[in-house]
Structure 1
Amino acid sequence: MSQPESALADAQGDGRASEDLAALARRYGLRRAIARPSMPAYLRQLWDRRHFIVTYATSRNVSKYSESALGQLWQVLTPLLNAAVYWLMFGVILDQRKNIDNYPAFLITGVMVFTFTQRTVIGGAKSVSSNLSLIRALHFPRAALPLAYAFQELQQLFYSMAVLLVLVLVTGEPVTWLWLLIPVPLAMQLVFNIGTSLFMARVGAFVRDVNQLLPFITRTWLYASGVFYSIAERTKDLPDFIRWVLEFNPAAAYIEFMRHLLIYERMPERWAWTTCLFWAVFALIVGFWYFWRAEERYGRG
């Protein structure tokens, strides 16, 4: 038998062996160890590891500032210092405060709410690529990592919200029954953050340059979200379409919802409820599905 014929025979033999092994595996209900589970099975696996997700998030929070003198205080000081810089630039130098009542509370609310989403998205984008050794060593649903990063930021948000409420009171805003609704926009924003974090986790796992671009992308997002200015005031002389686009921005919607409860002292309008709920549901469904589709590929190479 010539060499080409021998090679062809070996290939056919390997093919038959692979088919026999595949049939044997099906016969005894075996499957690949790294095969992507079905969506219901994947959700059950995540639920079974809920304690790991919370513990991992907590340990990251504790260790993040362990080497600094002020420790966990930086969880609150960082957004406050950012707010102080923005107040100097936009409130004093650009004089935005003349058009907005209680500008300090307006600004701090915007910064705190936006920071929650910003940090969750940036952390989620790095959650897979920064934990390759863990992924390659242990078998677990990879979505646990971006979920842990999202819950880490949620834990930090509790400190920020406590400070925000105090500062809003200090600036002269009264406590109203609307404050009881504060968990509602935070819950919708958390769901949105989780979905966006899952989406960006897959992108960041395979396109590493995204992690370098994200700070610039989120900074642009910050300027377009009405953190420093009133969208309605800035767009009153512009076409309605521009205002609609800016208000449909998910970050702007969550910020405006929170300002209604804390500062404006009135129930958010229907568009705010609809926009916030839409982005939460849309981001979670698309982000989770997009991440799950690549479950078999994380940690390879």
Structure 2
Amino acid sequence: MSIAYKFSFLLTMPAKAALECIKQNAKVMERTVQELHAELNALTDQYVSLREKQLREENRILTAAVEEAKKQLIRLECQQGIKQISIPNQTLLVATIPLQSASTNDVNKTNLSQTATDTTKEVKPKKEKKPKETKQKLPSSEEPSVDVGRLDLRIAKVEDVQKHPDADSLYVLKINCGEDKPRTVCSGLVKHVPMDDLKNRSVVLLCNLKPVKMRGITSEAMVMCASSPELVEVLSPPIGCEAGETVHCEGFVRSPDPVMNPKKKIFETVAPDLATNDLLQACYKGVPLNVPGKGFILASTLKSCAVK
């Protein structure tokens, strides 16, 4: 019904009936406005809920990306020898928060009790504290970069091989690495290398690991091997090497720690970059390990395999 028609219809009605009709129309319009208002609120709530879900998902993705970036940064810093410092735990700070929410009455009672106790005690003069002597810290030398130069790799010769009395998978080796007496080395090569193949054999020995007991026998070094899931091969030094000669890697200064600190994880940082290449040469970051003037350290058959 058009507005003009409604207006002409109202003119033909008595005044009281016309007024009643206007009131009814006003109620209908008010109800319509309320319904539209409710629909608008419902649509707004749906939009807000949907947008909130989208933002939460975006936040989750960004958080995961940030965490991955942090891990990558820490990994790169460790490779560059940058020391990692852990963030102090905030547990103590959190534990003190509930104490601050105690009611005012409890605090007042505590203060009154403390005051009553203090009045019964004799007031003693406080002793003057002597100023603490501050020791000047000497500037520490810069930490060397963590690379293959920190490993004490030497040519050595196996002088004796025995089975470990308490471990079927271990050999107990006596190895001459150019020192006054041979070192004792426990090696898990029983399943991979026959005993006769180790006797009188020249090997590459990692000499600055911290000694560790293995089933009651202290192992003082580690025989370096090329390793795959199916096979383990003892690395072979160049022909003509003598026990005690040092192993080098071009481009990396050889400055081994006397004994590597296990907490600094030096070997664990270097090990992922030790591997053989397609020429069977043992390498660090693709650079072959060598004995100067003698030649390269080689595996027998394993190419592109981890060295450990």
Q: Which has the higher helix share?
A: 1
- Bigger Cα Rg: 2
Q: Which has the higher strand share?
A: 2
Structure with the larger RCO, 1 or 2 (CA within 8 Å, 6+ apart): 1
With normalisation by structure 2, the TM-score equals: 0.23
Q: TM-score, normalised by structure 1?
A: 0.23
